[in-house]
Amino acid sequence: MINRVLYFLATNIAILVVLSITMRLLGLDFHLAQYGQDITGLLVLSAIVGMAGSFISLAMSKTMAKRFSGARVIESPSNAREIWLLQTVEKQSSAAGIGMPEVAIFQSRQINAFATGMNRNNALVAVSSGLLDEMTSEEAEAVVGHEVSHVANGDMITLALIQGVLNTFVFFLARIIGQMVNRAVFRSSGGPAYWIIVIIAELVLGILASMVVMYFSRKREFRADRGGAELAGKDNMIAALMRLQSQYEPSVLPDQLAAFGISGGVGSGFSIRKLFRSHPPLEERIEALRQL
């Protein structure tokens, strides 16, 4: 969904812009801006900044997820459903070969869940109160299995690596564009106009790059569905997706977390928004499971 841009990409681009401004203030890339001939140096610098921006965003993901969703981590279960949730995540994490994630509940009447974190052994799995209230235990177990599979498959790391590579080219091309436009229009090799052009180019290229990240995110959803089917049963995973399909309304997860949700988004036909969706349509996911 386009909301993914407001979370993963927006955080990532914001970090890139902050790093760019910091480097400017420190004078670290003044030579590149002034002369523009050191393409190799610019590419190396771009790779360092690009990967740093992506992994700083990833490192912040758990903290930001808790803050944006209002998720409460279960430290000591207070009722039967919290005990069931902890036991289910523990059982599936062991079966998937990962460390026990933090388990949290966020208040929402919608059926939803998300997983995030820096690595497979230090992740967060959160479900909505609506999921626990509205789904059968079999369906809920399948949704939890889907999220545990995201962790086990290393999807957060994979997308961070992809984003880091894209960041490299965004950072690099933004400065090439800045030099070309500044010299052609303002007859200058530096100055305020150059930096304004660079920041605008970073924002535009960053949004375009997000379409590539979304494409890979949609592919990883199919894999997580298969993982959920292995952990909780194919029929249960299909039933969970069908429940989402029948009850789906626009997610009330905060916009910044919609990309991590189980439902993600639905719709048929082509629109530019589909290029920014992190999840495939539910009917496609159900059909893919049926064909396993």
Say which of 147, 230, 283, 287 is annotated catalytic: 147
Which has the closest alpha carbon to 70: 114, 136, 100?
A: 114
Query: Can you spell out the DSSP letters for 193-208?
Result: HHHHHHHHHHHHHHHH
Helix 192-232, helix 80-96: angle, nearest 10: 100
Q: Is 230 a catalytic residue?
A: no
Angle at Cα 89 formed by Cα 224 and Cα 74, nearest 5°? 125
- CA quadruple 283, 285, 290, 291: dihedral, nearest 10: 120
Sheet with 72-73: list strands edge to edge.
72-73, 102-106, 122-128, 113-119
Give me the residues paired with residue 125 across strands.
103, 115
Helix 155-186, helix 39-59: angle, nearest 10: 140
**Active-site residues: which are they?**
147
